[in-house]
Amino acid sequence: MGHAFEDCLMDVLVRYHRMDGYNTLCLPGTDHASIAVHTILDRQLKAEGKTRYDIGREKFLEKAWQWKEESGGTIVNQLKRMGLSADWSRERFTLDEGLSKAVRTAFVKLYEAGLIYRGNYLVNWCPASLSAVSDLEVESKEVDGHLWHFRYPLTDGSGSVEVATTRPETMLGDTGVAVNPNDKRYQKLIGKTVTLPIVGREIPIFGDELVDPEFGTGCVKVTPAHDPNDFEMGNRHNLPFINIMNKDGTLNGNAGIFAGQDRYIARTNVVKKLEEDGYLIKVEEYRHAVPYSDRGKVPVEPLLSTQWFVKIDPLSQKALKFLDEQNSPRFVPERWTKVYRDWLIKLKDWCISRQLWWGHQIPAWYVISETNNTITDHTPFIVADNETEALEKAQQKYGKNVKLEQDPDVLDTWFSSGLWPFSTLGWPENTEDFKTYYPTSTLVTGFDIIFFWVARMTMMAGYFTDQMPFQDVYIHGLVRDENGKKMSKSANNGIDPLILVSKYGTDALRYTLIKEVAGAGQDISLQYDRQTDESESVEASRNFANKLWNAARFVMMNLKGETPQTLGTPDLEQLELCDRWLLSRYYQVVKQTRQDIETYGLGEAAKGLYEFIWGDFCDWYIELVKSRLWQDIPSRKVAQQTLAYVLDGTLKLLHPFMPHITEEIWQTLTQTTDKFIALQCYPVVDETLINPELEVSFSQLFETIRTVRNLRAEADIKPGVKVSVILQSENEQERLILESGQDYIKDLGKVEKLTITSQLEKETEQVIAGVVGTIQALIPLSGVVDIASLQAKLEKKLSKIEAEVKALSGRLNNPGFVNKAPQEVVQSVRDTLAEAQKQAEILRERLQRLK
């Protein structure tokens, strides 16, 4: 559903800019997702009692490509079902030949520039996927655990020190104990040694300011091969690095009697042994953060491993320079700029090698000779674009009698994804696509991927193209479930968008997702009933589509075979008042919609169109012109022209949001099959036809008509019965507005006799009355309704208004509210009270007259 939401946002921008005359490209593609695919295939093989090593790399890759065809087809099918207006002839996949060439080129260039190196460092190791994962692929989770306190005896027999740890099994790899040099409790112990329980190894006590005196006992066991902080201290104090962990999460031979045990089984057994030997002091309940592999869904292990790294500082500094000097890229909303900048500053060197088979195999070949045929950390290697080139380089350097073996690891998926904005356009070649479309205009993405992807793309683009890859980064929120929770497979609260598409239609789902956007970067909550696959919000959008469909059908029925082209634009000299009003409202909506889309206010644009189409066009204008359409009078044609012109323009305004229904209606309206609304010009504003005063006048007319209709309903007056109406206002301007629109009031209010006056004469018959601002609307009731029943209704309404007056008066009599609330809030309450008091006064008058 998150992808569907993102697809919709992108497609609105794509369709809008194409209609607005831009040379627009939306290039679709998919990522090979190394770890995710490996996890799925390893699970399938495990069910067969096999591992990938049993079937070999070649057979495994065959399975991976089969999976890609199935999964990739599913993704593309959703994109098409959601109506993404992409150039499918340019569809790319991160493992296709063109992008693979770009990856090899980037790797070689970075290596030759000294920005890629091979080193032995502590990495995040995922025992589930049997691969290193980057810091960005690690999710920190708060879990309930324990803090174990152990006694390490001083070698000289003078006592012991107490250490605390959440991972007791790692003590088997301890090579030191650290204290803060300023901690007076332990200063005299610095330089002494302790004897490591179980193992019997003598290890030093040393001082290091990294130690937090407040954590645990202030005395820290140091395992340089299994903890990032310990790794740093191990390097500073020249400690041995002892790895006790196998790559599958079991303990190795360095763990002695615990070798072969799973890390968590070993944890239990190590604690038991320490307790038996008298070294366990106490165990505390402890809630702490544990790093989990985002893909493997298991806790990662810090593991000492030889991996390939990218020196990140030169790349991040260049991206920071673009940001600080050119505000490039520009983030929408702007608040995400700081998040992006902070992340670039904090980045460490990027571990780019993965111990997987599915992906871009690292373009490095180890040189094997007759005397050196075992690959170790010290085996020489050649980096090249291909094996032939690597062999030539190796022979020149090491002689003819050498053999090569390619590094079995693959590159981190984000390495190829980081090149996406320019590799998909033909880089490293200077293609026409690259020259035309790069740098791109807009990246649409969720805030949770800024670190994974956005920063990778800006750093790679800055280095390889000396430009930022996009002008704007439009950050959207997440689609959450009906309870506001993040959707995930593990929580089983995701929604398949295609289910809602099948039930309500693509346009309804698109419109719901876009309209629900309260603002850029804000999450949306999608109401959904999992028992029936029903969604009230999507159903409301389907109802909107039906409203538009029925209105369009009514318009076309009354055009008598004409089209917007044959009717021509409305004759401005012949326009009636309501025609001028509709054109003013239409151009206001054109202006606002353009402004909203240009500033990424897509949700506001969708809401504005909804209100205009449902309210102004369908509920009011069509009703206002019905009588003209059904009579053979001169004003019928201008009504037809206005209807056709505004419907044609409105369909174009709405097209980026609801492409399918607008295309269908537009082709029927224009009676064309060889043109598409998607390729028409987006409407432009005609400022000369915008008339704010007229719009205000019509708002007042509509409120008056609505009041008359409500009074008829309150009095139970039958729809076919025409009534007399008296409209009273002391304001001359209001009376002029009412007089100018009296035909509309009579037509839509079913009024036979309309009286507009400044003062009310003494009434001789009973009436029902309502208030529109300072306008009173009265309907004489004699011979029309049951007076006693009406009196009861008015008394109930008066009681409600009097309660409101009492509540508002109470607020204004409270000094705390009047003195502390903002002045505009206090004034608003005063205005509301004055209007309520006026309404109550008029209702009392009406009731008195009824009595």
* Distance separating alpha carbons of residues 242 and 171, to the nearest angstrom: 11
Is the CB of residue 367 less than 8 Å from the CB of residue 381? yes
User: φ, ψ for residue 585 (rounded to 5)?
Assistant: -65, -40
Query: In whole angstroms, how far apart are CA 297 and each of 160, 248, 448, 450?
Result: 39, 14, 17, 21
- Residue 586, judged by CB atoms within 10 A of its CB (0-12, 13-18, 19+), counts as buried
* Distance separating alpha carbons of residues 428 and 98, to the nearest angstrom: 9
Q: What is the dihedral of CA 585, 591, 594, 599, to 10 degrees?
A: -120
CB atoms within 10 A of CB 208: 19
What does the block give as tokens for 270? 């190590």
What does the block give as tokens for 390? 């690597």
The residue type found at 350 is W
C-alpha closest to that of 298 among 334, 262, 338 = 262
Which run of H or of E encompasses 491?
none
Going by C-beta distance under 8 Å and a sequence separation of 6 or more, which residues neighbour residue 796?
none
* Distance separating alpha carbons of residues 214 and 183, to the nearest angstrom: 10
Going by C-beta distance under 8 Å and a sequence separation of 6 or more, which residues neighbour residue 72?
30, 93
Q: How many residues in total does the chain contain?
A: 851
* Distance separating alpha carbons of residues 170 and 28, to the nearest angstrom: 47
Is the CB of residue 345 less than 8 Å from the CB of residue 459? no
Is the CB of residue 519 less than 8 Å from the CB of residue 603? yes
- Residue 115, judged by CB atoms within 10 A of its CB (0-12, 13-18, 19+), counts as middle
Long-range Cβ pairs for the range 315-323 (8 Å, 24+): 315/115, 315/459, 315/460, 315/462, 315/463, 316/344, 316/345, 316/347, 316/455, 316/459, 318/459, 318/462, 318/463, 319/344, 319/455, 319/458, 319/459, 319/462, 319/468, 320/344, 320/345, 322/458, 322/462, 322/468
* Distance separating alpha carbons of residues 729 and 775, to the nearest angstrom: 5
Query: In whole angstroms, how far apart are CA 578 and each of 2, 639, 776?
Result: 43, 9, 23
Q: Is 489 annotated as a binding residue?
A: yes
Helix, strand, coil shares, percent, the chain, to 5: 50, 20, 30
Query: In whole angstroms, how far apart are CA 514 and each of 110, 347, 407, 549, 628?
Result: 41, 34, 47, 20, 37
* Distance separating alpha carbons of residues 459 and 426, to the nearest angstrom: 19
* Distance separating alpha carbons of residues 834 and 829, to the nearest angstrom: 9
Going by C-beta distance under 8 Å and a sequence separation of 6 or more, which residues neighbour residue 694?
577, 580, 581, 584
Is the CB of residue 408 less than 8 Å from the CB of residue 375? no
- Residue 703, judged by CB atoms within 10 A of its CB (0-12, 13-18, 19+), counts as middle
Is the CB of residue 667 less than 8 Å from the CB of residue 679? no
Binding residues for ATP, by number, are 489
Binding residues, by number, are 489
